Amino acid sequence: MNPGFSRRGFTILEVIIVLAVIMVVSLVTAPLGLQFYNGQTIAGIQGQIGDTLTRARSQSVAQKGDDQYGICLNQNGIYTQTFVLYKGAAGAACSSHNTSYDESYQVLGNTIVYLPASSTEISFAKHTGKPTATGTVSIIWNGLMRTLTVDSFGTIVQN
């Protein structure tokens, strides 16, 4: 060992200062990270419902299976548990239709989805793709809200 060289570690004050800086940075960035996560989650739910509505309309216009398609919400109280892409006549979505064509999608536990006209389904007409309900689809999750708009031609726009 070099006689003029002394070994020295960090003082307790230096360790406390570093920990304080790390804590301040964490306190500032944690809410931003949570806000980003919540925004991405609700955007994902909005995209999933919007894509499913677009698929239902496209399959109706293309007359896939010579039938019309739509989506139906399965709710437990005010919360939406699943939504289903179905094949069949409007009005039969949530009750009696051929369930072998159903595609069911799970949503997060505390998600609320409101379809236009207080309906639980939107169906699209064969050939034209015109919807049975028009207006705003509202998606609420964790205090955030996103919307989709369904116009009279069946166009779905994410807002």
Domains of the chain: 12-158 (3.55.40.10)
pLDDT in tens, 5-47: 666 788 899 999 999 999 999 999 999 999 999 999 999 999 9
Longest CA span, the chain: 92
Q: Report, in angstroms and rounded to the nearest whole number, the Rg of the chain calculated over CA atoms.
A: 26
Predicted local distance difference test score (pLDDT) of residue 94: 63
pLDDT in tens, 49-75: 999 999 999 999 988 777 888 888 887
| pLDDT grade for 146, boundaries at 50, 70 and 90 | very high
- Reading the block at residue 121, the tokens are 């389904």
